[in-house]
Amino acid sequence: MRGVNISGKNKVPMAELKKAFEELGFGAVKTYLNSGNVIFSSDEENIGSLTNRIETTIKKWFGLDIPVFVISKEDLEDILQHAPDWWGDENKEIYDNLIFIMSPATFAEVWDEIGEPREGLEKIQDYKEAVFWSFSRKDYQKTNWWRETASANISGKLTIQTANTVSKINGM
């Protein structure tokens, strides 16, 4: 779920969120930290239908209109297998993120709105509905993508996770 439990806004208790997903009939429901990430199993193959059901339930249970991004384990694994060599390494001076582009938005739209990364400060590479993004921790405020991904025009089309979070979720 995009934008929950950040700076006291859009509060969603994870225990209640887990119950909501169980009531939807999903199996093996787990939440990750206080992040709004939920791992679950379902026989439903239509991602659009899953997304709508979850968004409706979030509205009903918590009174929030929260954008939801659903991705299958197989698709997430495929994306991670296509990570560039420079993404997700142990370099503590670099901050690695995975940007998920929420349908119906496309990478071309995101690129048109944000523009090129700042040379020497950040790198991006797209693959399917994701963008691998890395930037210098000490110079993050100078990057183009840091400032622009938070802008009102584009922020509702994206959800951003750290490489560490994505790795942990993928392993759950």
Tens-binned pLDDT, residue by residue, of the chain (172 aa): 877 777 778 888 999 999 999 999 999 999 998 888 999 999 999 999 999 999 999 999 999 998 899 999 999 999 999 999 999 888 889 999 999 999 899 999 999 999 999 999 999 999 999 999 999 999 999 999 998 988 878 888 999 999 999 999 999 8
CA dist 1 and 35 (Å) reads 8
The count of domains in the chain is 2
Q: Is residue 4 part of a domain?
A: no
CB 70 within 8 A of CB 3: no
Same domain, 165 and 84: yes
Q: What stretch of H or E contains 158? A: strand 158-162
Taking alpha carbons only, the member of 45, 169, 6 closest to residue 100 is 169
The beta-strand segments (E) located in 3-129 are: 27-32, 37-41, 94-101, 122-127
List helix spans (H) across 37-162: 47-62, 73-81, 107-114, 144-149, 152-155
Question: What is the extent of the structural domain holding 91?
Answer: 73-171
The model's pTM: 0.91
Same domain, 150 and 81: yes
Q: Is residue 8 part of a domain?
A: no
CB 145 within 8 A of CB 98: no
Q: Is residue 67 part of a domain?
A: no
Q: Is residue 110 part of a domain?
A: yes
The beta-strand segments (E) located in 20-69 are: 27-32, 37-41
Same domain, 85 and 55: no
CB 26 within 8 A of CB 53: no
Taking alpha carbons only, the member of 74, 91, 76, 106 closest to residue 138 is 91
Q: Is residue 1 part of a domain?
A: no
Q: Is residue 7 part of a domain?
A: no
Same domain, 41 and 98: no
Same domain, 134 and 95: yes
